Amino acid sequence: MNYLELGINTIAINDNKQAIYPWKRYQKEMITQAELDQQMADARAKGIAVICGAISGGLEVIDVDTKYQTYDLWQAIKERLPKGIFTKLHIVKTRNGGYHLYYRCEVVEGNQKLAMRQANDSEIKENPHNKELCIIESRGQGGYVVAPPSLGYEIIQDGINVITIEEREELLAIMRSFNEVIVEEIIEAHNRPSSKEYGLSPFDDFNKRCDFVELMERNGWKKVKNGSTRIYFLRPGGISEHSGSYNTEMGLFSVFSTNTPFQVQKGYKPCAVFAILEHRGNFKKAALALLDQGYGERKQNFGEKIERELFEKRKQSVSKEDQVTYLVQKHNKNYNEALEIVEKLENESGDVISEFWDAKIKNGKITAEIKLDKLERFLHDVGGFSLYFYDANSVIYRLIRIKDGLVEESSTEMIKKFIKDYINRLPSSFDDGLDPQTLMEVVYKGSSHYFSDNFFEFFDRVKLDFLEDTKEICYFPFINGVVEISREGIKLRSYGELGKVIWKSQVIDHYITIENDFKVDHSEYYKFIDKICNGEVERIIYCLGIIGYLLHKYKDPARPFAIILAEETENEAMGGGTGKGIFVKALGYIIKLVRVDGKNFKVDKNFAFQRVDLDTKLLAIEDTRRNVDFEGFYSIITEGVTVEKKNKDELFIPYKDSPKVIFTTNYTIPNSGNHAKRRQKVFEFAPYFSPKHTPEDEFGHKLFDDWDKDEWNRFYNLMFNCVQDYLENGISEVENSAKLAKKQVRVQFGEEFLEFIETLVDQEGVLIKFEQLYNDFLNFTGFDKKEYSIRRFSKAIDEGFLILKIGVEMVRDRSTGYKKAYKFLLGNRIV
């Protein structure tokens, strides 16, 4: 009755919140007292609902669902809502712990989904079709909500008031700001420039390199604040907290306010924002403007008309300058663009046209005959293809290609593609009527002959002078030069200055700047290291030394060891998620890394190392299984690695050029015996990170994926400092934790042996004969001699106590009848 007196239409509902009578007509006409009495008297009536929209005086309700949220959504909403709007709301707490916010306004729309979130794993398992869930929505024209006094619904702030259109817009914008699901707005194809016009799209380049904050601020938007994964902006003329945000993870901008040129809840790439704000949505004009600003590259369509004409000019010995003039006059190119086309064609194809064929007449038609001697010379001189024998005394070779001092391993497919591209650039007619199609047909028909191992073996051998790390110096090639690190300092040198060749795959895709006054704690990655080391200075120094060792590509024959990444926990079942994968991934951003799955890896299996190449400098065997045979890896740690690839001869890479090895494990890797100890350096990860608290949770974004160029530069400079410290100081020694020692003993000698040690606490300094000790162990554990042999027990005493740092003195004299006996010095033990 109170709702009706307030002019709010009301109906009866059942247990499932469904109207028990048809209700559509009540969207346009008020229910009568008699009709309402009839509905409420029905046995199905378990509650009431109020109808929203014009019939109820412009009533609109916002429904906030707080179930399964990872944060206090309601508290966040209250903190963000202006007090002047919050006090006008009629607020109802629902039976599921959510909230309904009632108000009236002269403008009311239909039902809207204001904020969505991704479903969690349990929700997807329960309903696989619901990948996204609505957490905030409105009920307006054509909607209704369950209302008090229905069971479980409670009024916590009373008074249904009228708010202004501006206040409603601000309220809805704030609700939309909690949206976590952004759908990218796809621009219609007719409004976009063709991708065929560019070698590198100016849009793709702008999306990667632009300063998004600067873009918004120069267009009148104000940066309000930084969130964990978002940057918030206020529109020009806006007065609320913010109007939109840029999701740094997704690279999408979305707005909450309707008073902008953008659609709400749509995601816009930076290039789309640029086009809309600065070119009124004209993407073709925006692309041209970005090209002028240095983003992207115009596509050089080699093989098309222009390039064929240039080949004809070159065949006629036309000079480079005249070729440029021809492009300017005939094809309306500007001088710089024409020069770039001519030089790029010359760089890819040589300064003269190389013919590897002889034209001939056959059956009255012009055709060609491929001359193998000319083809071999062409592939070497123009293509840069050669044979590389890693071992001068071996018959095993690799096809390689050398261009501008950069070396890459080649293949038959690469050679075929090079020839095809070259032929496609030839003039439409040459050699008295021969055309590219005819020449290509000849190549196709004889491909099995031209591209065989028998033919490749006639290629010139090359002896390559690679840029290699030495004992005192380490090198890292970047786009703009090579970083040289020694004890004395870090400096950037030019490629020409060094005069060495480099594997193309080892060039780091970054323009490096050396920071001479670099502070390590300014790097986000250093903060990650601090966490995995539990903030302990000694462990941090040890960790940085390990990084320096792994990045220094020189291998000292006197120190052949592997790095073991373990965990500081006794319970192996609780391991994982501590950051070992991120640690390994970081190394792969600066040296050539191959990662293999240790769970299923077998060192003696065929093709075990088939992904290892001559340029591989680090081999990571990750998540090794329990009781892995560490001794099986001795040869690759101390001698080198044999690489066997399918359909290729096996290649042995000796110790000095083979990759260093790193293991990661949730368990422990056996290290009994001096051989194993000498071959291991163990680094334990503190349990700061876990599946419940990930590095992404800690830093508010993904490491590496969300870094800008400045953060990458800090990362690389941190790595340089690690290498320099290693060159100067080596790897510091740090004692492993008691937990790791226990894990090692448990894995090698059993939990029962570890428990038996505790019974010896009262035997400090007491002489115990070995036979008595063994019998005591069997009695304590219930083992018989077959289950736990005397030989294994003897080894457990000798090696297990050493791991646990328990002092033990072996005695064999008259007092023992010259039989083996022990005295235990338990006072200084670490476990």
- The share of the chain scoring above pLDDT 70, in percent, equals 88
CA 276-281-284 angle, to 5 degrees, is 120
Residue 578 one-letter amino acid: T
Q: What is the pLDDT of residues 166-181, one digit of tens each?
A: 889 889 988 888 887 7
201-to-193, 215, 262, 443 alpha-carbon distances in Å? 10, 19, 23, 34
Half-sphere exposure at residue 366, Cβ-oriented, CA atoms within 13 angstroms = 14
Segment 5-16 mean pLDDT: 92
Element (H, E) at 564: strand 562-567
Tokens of 105: 């306004």
Distance CA 674, CA 662 (A): 19
Place of tokens 């291991």: 680
> Among candidates 19, 70, 68, 69, which has minimal Cα distance to 48?
19
* pLDDT over 90, % of the chain: 27
**Average pLDDT, stretch 797-806?**
77
Helix runs in 350-408, H state only = 372-381
> Which of 68-82, 91-105, 203-217, 292-306 is least confident?
292-306
Phi and psi angles of residue 799, each rounded to the nearest 5 degrees, phi first: -95, -40
pLDDT at 826: 55
Instruction: List, in sequence order, the alpha helices (H) in 42-107.
Output: 73-80, 83-86
What would the mean pLDDT of 254-265 be, rounded to a whole number?
Answer: 81
- pLDDT for res 630: 67
Instruction: Show the CA angle centred on residue 599, arms to residues 597 and 605, nearest 5°.
Output: 75
pLDDT in tens, 415-453: 998 898 888 877 777 777 788 889 999 999 998 888 888
The structure's pTM equals 0.51
Task: Report the alpha-carbon distance of residue 169 to residue 740 in Å, rounded.
Answer: 59
Rounded CA-CA distance 441/429 in Å is 15
Confidence of residue 205 (pLDDT cuts 50, 70, 90): confident
Burial class (CB in 10 A: 0-12, 13-18, 19+), 7: middle
Classify burial at 262, counting beta carbons within 10 Å of its beta carbon; exposed 0-12, middle 13-18, buried 19 or more: buried
Does the pLDDT value for residue 338 go beyond 80?
A: yes
CB atoms within 10 A of CB 646: 7
**Residue position matching structure tokens 């707490």:** 93
| Residue 301: band (very low, low, confident or very high) from pLDDT cuts 50, 70, 90 | very low
- Average pLDDT, stretch 288-292? 82
- Residue labelled with tokens 């501006």: 166
- State the Cα–Cα distance between residues 664 and 800, nearest whole angstrom: 22
